[in-house]
Amino acid sequence: MSFARLTGLRLGLNRSSAIGRPHATRLATSIRFASTSGTSEKSASPSLRRNGILALSLLAGAAATYYYDRYVRVSTTTTHTPGGTPVETSAHGPTFEVSIRSSRGPVKYNFRRLPERDIEAKLHSNESSSVVDRPGNPVVRWDRNWVGSNEPCEDRSAIDIVPRSQSWRDTQRWWKWNWGGVGASAAAEASTPGSKDIMMFSVLDGHAGDATSQLLSKTLHPTLTLALAGLQAGISPTLGISKWSQLASYLDPAQWLPGGIWTPENVSRTIQSAYLQLDENICQAPISLLPVLSSQPIKPSDPDSEVISASDIFTAQTDPANAGACAISAVVDAEEDGLWVALAGDCRAVAGWEGVDGKWRCDVLTEDQMGENPREVERMKSEHPRSEASSVIRNGRVQGGLQPTRAFGDAVYKWTSEQNSAMERAYAARGLKLRKERPGHLTPPYVTARPEVTYRQIHPSSGERLRFLVMATDGLWDRITSEEATLLVASYLSHPNHPDIPKVAIPNIFPLQPPLPESQRPYPVQDLPGTGDRAAGSWVYEGDENAATHLIRNSLAGGDRKLRGELLSMHGGVTRWMRDDITVTVVFFNGQERGRGATAESLE
């Protein structure tokens, strides 16, 4: 195979590949969304070879990507190309000092404060938005943005629409005929082309490098799509179900009745299975190559050669397994009026609901999965022998090392000691370093990619309106709370341009419904807006066209513009001590986005 052909496989197998089309799983004609800030070809080109190898050799992931691209043909829109849009900076300006504590005492660093125009450029250079003009689709708009701290940024994100021509209902013709569905819905479908759409939104928080998040940005949605296509074809998920229960489900005629197969529970289990299968491919692909390496030259092949060595493939496949990434995905099903949010890691999703009384409800859809979460600690202890009770979580981290308890990759926590040793030797032979196995590594895996999945009906009988969904990496949630994010977007919808508002005043202008009892609130439980530690300072409304930018701006010190400027003027390794990569996606529902020409009421 020529290198030119191989590098063309970055997003899937070549379309000439012979993979049969599954019966009754057509996800139909395509629609392509163009991001307002596209991928930089210059920054993407160094990884062409690695991406080509990965697409070729990750068999299940590649098959999913091929099916997705060939039969759905929906392009994954990814904005997080490291580096983003270059920002020119001035050579002169005021300086400021940052003091970092270290084992040797305080270490001081001096930085030059960027001009205000350069600070604003950093806030806006990676933002993108799109109006979803698909009648019948409850999603009407999305905004997203990212601001890096690591160099390069380790976060990624993806947004896709799957416009189905057939849903699971259409595959059961007897049901359509019996219930008067044949012919009756043709006119309705023509006027509401988005009524069968599935939309997917994912935010990916990489760590120990960006290899895992970069790969997930290209393969997670195709894998989810293929798994959901299987469910649509009648293949029930088997995760967590005994073989006898599986057999009983196949023989149960109830599953073929309306709602029998495509249920919230089955969709949730299908999403969980897709996450786990993709992670299995990522972590086991390099292990499967170990027997081949002994008969292959250690030296990587010539970059200009069309011959790709086993060493090249091994290195390309090991990078995503060696690094790691937390992932959060939202799946919106227009036909079934459903929203599923899956989380593996410490990203977070928050939904903003407006009640019939005008009050807002902050619906925290996920719980941070980390070593400081008591529920995760108990889960971890229950999955390992009692003798490891004090070592599975040490100092709030998995085996004293990794903070999130669930993630893709991080194979050093999942491989056996024998596999870790073999991989370390193979990597060292190529002059590369692998992450070290942690002490007390006796009964792996210690990290899982199995997500917790939350379901919500988009239009509940209560009359509440789902106005927006905020998905973000922990870089945002380290700096603002779930309730603050809800009020910031709620107030943004009313007026994006307004004088600063004290934090204590916002809950009075936009009252929140009473929260759940503290024992029922997802981890972490934090002070409510305008109270306790959350009372000092103010929020800003500086006319951002992008809601994600509005959230990022306020997370960077709110109304303290001096501190915001300093946080965005830092560079190098010191930045990571002060703030993390921040990635935010905001999804608007039911016509509640702020569009052109829309009027806005004053906050006063």
**pLDDT of 598:** 32
Chain centre distance of CA 67: 21
Task: Work out the pLDDT band at 168, boundaries 50, 70, 90.
Answer: low
Q: What is the DSSP string of 498-562?
A: EEEEETTTHHHHSPBPPPPPGGGSPSSP-PPTTSGGG-SSEEEEE--S-HHHHHHHHHTTTT-HH
- Angle, CA of 84, 86 and 89, to the nearest 5°: 140
Alpha helices in 261-334 (DSSP H): 264-293, 310-322
Residue 132 has phi, psi (to 5 degrees) of -95, 95
Q: Mutual orientation of helices 59-67 and 48-57 as an angle, nearest 10°?
A: 100
User: Is residue 387 predicted with pLDDT exceeding 50?
Assistant: yes
**pLDDT of 509:** 95
**pLDDT of 103:** 81
Determine how β-strand 197-207 pairs with β-strand 155-163.
Answer: antiparallel
Q: What is the DSSP string of 8-45?
A: TTTTSS-TTS--PPPTT----S---PPPSSPPPHHHHG
Q: Who's near 130: CB < 8 A, 6+ residues apart? A: 33, 34, 35, 36, 141, 142, 159
Mean pLDDT of 294-302: 64
Task: Work out the pLDDT band at 80, boundaries 50, 70, 90.
Answer: very low
**pLDDT of 420:** 97
Whether 507 contacts 532, CB under 8 Å: no
* 212/230 Cα distance (integer angstroms): 25
| Sign of the Cα pseudo-torsion (534, 535, 536, 539, in order) | positive
Residue that is written with structure tokens 């009384």 in the block: 357
**pLDDT of 522:** 96
* 494/513 Cα distance (integer angstroms): 18
Is 154 exposed, middle or buried, given 0-12, 13-18 or 19+ CB atoms closer than 10 A?
buried
In tens, the pLDDT along 259-281 reads 578 999 999 999 999 999 999 99
Whether 429 contacts 298, CB under 8 Å: yes
* 577/444 Cα distance (integer angstroms): 31
Residue 293: both structure tokens together? 């390496």
User: Is residue 82 predicted with pLDDT exceeding 50?
Assistant: no
Mean pLDDT of 20-40: 32
Task: Please give the torsion angle defined by the CA atoms of residues 37, 40, 43 and 45, in that order, rounded to the nearest 10 degrees.
Answer: 140
User: Is residue 548 predicted with pLDDT exceeding 90?
Assistant: yes
In tens, the pLDDT along 455-503 reads 999 999 999 999 999 999 999 999 999 999 999 999 999 999 999 999 9
* 356/420 Cα distance (integer angstroms): 56
- In our burial notation (b when 16+ CB lie closer than 10 A, e otherwise), range 95-116 reads ebebeeeeeeeeeeeebebbbe
15-29, 45-59, 307-321, range with the lowest pLDDT: 15-29
**pLDDT of 247:** 52
* 575/51 Cα distance (integer angstroms): 29
* 316/287 Cα distance (integer angstroms): 12
- Angle, CA of 592, 509 and 525, to the nearest 5°: 85
Residue 290: both structure tokens together? 């170990």
Task: Work out the pLDDT band at 76, boundaries 50, 70, 90.
Answer: very low
Stated pTM of the model = 0.83
Task: Work out the pLDDT band at 535, boundaries 50, 70, 90.
Answer: very high
HEC per residue, 390-403: CCCEECCEECCCEC
* 489/483 Cα distance (integer angstroms): 10
In tens, the pLDDT along 406-459 reads 999 999 999 999 999 999 999 888 888 999 999 999 999 999 999 999 999 999
Residue 402 has phi, psi (to 5 degrees) of -90, 135
- Angle, CA of 418, 423 and 427, to the nearest 5°: 155
Is 379 exposed, middle or buried, given 0-12, 13-18 or 19+ CB atoms closer than 10 A?
middle
- In our burial notation (b when 16+ CB lie closer than 10 A, e otherwise), range 178-209 reads eeebeeeeeeeeeebbbbbbbbbbbbbbbbbb
In tens, the pLDDT along 128-142 reads 999 999 999 999 999
Residue that is written with structure tokens 């084992």 in the block: 103
* Residue type, position 267, single letter: V
Whether 305 contacts 266, CB under 8 Å: no
**pLDDT of 238:** 81
**pLDDT of 293:** 82
Task: Work out the pLDDT band at 114, boundaries 50, 70, 90.
Answer: very high
* Residue type, position 118, single letter: D
